[in-house]
Amino acid sequence: MPRRQPSAPPPFFFRAAELRARGASWDAVAKEIGRTERTIRGWTRTFAAAWRKAVRDAGRQFAEEAAESVLTLRKQLRSEDAKVCREAAAALVKFAAGRKPVPRKKSDPKSRLTSQAAALAEFVGGLTDAEVTTLLRELRDEPSPAGTDAPPAAVAAAGTA
């Protein structure tokens, strides 16, 4: 006698789909929800349409959350607190470097963007506050304070000495 197909997805089905949409491995999903990897993979066949919809919906939700986080970090870039700006910039660079590259043809020069973003993140991460300030000033075509090449903090300290 053939096995009867269940009519509704089992408990934890939507949680499994959410975890997969967020990038969790099959093994990690299995451990998280307490089912075997084989069982979870079976759900993708048994409830194929429901699985695709659940993963798509969870992926959309995750993308919305990520977009909101990026917006918050971009607002922090305009903070008057240098530490907040620096940490927001570092988080944005890390986010951009960790994103999956858009598949492009091998001949497309833009295909190197992910490695270039990683190199930029490494470069900026190794700079001192003064070097970041100077670099930003140069990128904005702003003159150095008091006609010097020193960052504003150094000029202010020299003026009080």
The per-residue pLDDT for 15 is: 93
pLDDT at 157 over 50: no
Domain membership of residue 99 (yes or no) is no
At 95, the pLDDT band (50, 70, 90 cuts) reads confident
Domain membership of residue 44 (yes or no) is yes
- Residue 23: which domain range? 8-64
Query: Which residue has better confidence, 8 or 44?
Result: 44
Mean pLDDT estimate for the chain: 76
Domain membership of residue 12 (yes or no) is yes
The answer to which of 26-30, 59-63, 151-155 has the lowest mean pLDDT is: 151-155
How many domains are contained in the chain? 1
The per-residue pLDDT for 6 is: 66
Predicted TM-score (pTM) of the model is 0.49
The per-residue pLDDT for 88 is: 84
At 148, the pLDDT band (50, 70, 90 cuts) reads low
How far, in whole angstroms, is CA 136 from its chain's centroid? Answer: 23
Domain membership of residue 58 (yes or no) is yes
pLDDT at 155 over 50: no
**DSSP code per residue over 97-149:** HHSPPPP--TT-GGGGHHHHHHHHHHHHHT--HHHHHHHHHHHTTPPPGGG-S
- Picking from 110, 114, 154, 147, the residue whose alpha carbon sits closest to that of residue 131 is 154
